Chains A and B, each alone.
Chain A
Amino acid sequence: DAGVTQSPTHLIKTRGQHVTLRCSPISGHKSVSWYQQVLGQGPQFIFQYYEKEERGRGNFPDRFSARQFPNYSSELNVNALLLGDSALYLCASSLDNEQFFGPGTRLTVL
């Protein structure tokens, strides 16, 4: 069975640009969460979506947005990129209270 997949694996952007990250959950999972993991820190919650609706939002600025599609895949969008947005962005899909993580997208902002 395929796990959570994310694309792209790596991305390099410059300050002020916009980025879109994509996530496909495990088949049958209807909930997707996004986390940001800065080097040396644990993952920090950004958003959760369930059945295409936002169910939770972490302490991130409005430059961060997300959506979920009818097939339960999800996009995370970040506008006006800052150097501090450089991080590993993790997607997790969940069934009940257990989350399954994808490999992440490594975003570097120059």
Chain B
Amino acid sequence: AQSVSQHNHHVILSEAASLELGCNYSYGGTVNLFWYVQYPGQHLQLLLKYFSGDPLVKGIKGFEAEFIKSKFSFNLRKPSVQWSDTAEYFCAVFLEGGSQGNLIFGKGTKLSVKP
């Protein structure tokens, strides 16, 4: 079955540190890729998405992600985190040809940024 793996369950960083959250998926076909963020007490919000084209995509709040097809990966990065980035981050995959509403999510990575 198709799956999404997020390797880090909880990441703790100090402000200004660089961030990289790993995401791998298991599916050999065409995929659309997403990163969602859930701030404490708020609903899921889209950070960025990849459908096609340039594999380096930029999202909101200084986040970016790189799609590496050969590694089935879509890692999220930010050069310098802020305390306000404390949240839970979810990687998700939409399988081309599948039900449009069917996103497959990873288990999430909780990011804690120390001021």
Which A residues fall within an 8 A CB radius of B?
3-4, 31-33, 35, 40-45, 47-50, 55-56, 58, 90, 92, 94, 97-104
Contact = CB atoms under 8 A, between A and B. Distances in A.
Contacts, number: 72
A68 B43 CA distance: 22
Given A58-B102, A100-B46, 5 more contacts: A31-B101, A35-B105, A50-B101, A97-B49, A102-B43
B42 to A, nearest CB: 8
Interface residues of B, number: 24
Interface string B83-115: 000000010101000111111111110000000
12 contacts: A31-B101, A33-B101, A35-B105, A41-B108, A45-B104, A48-B99, A48-B100, A56-B99, A56-B101, A97-B94, A97-B100, A99-B101
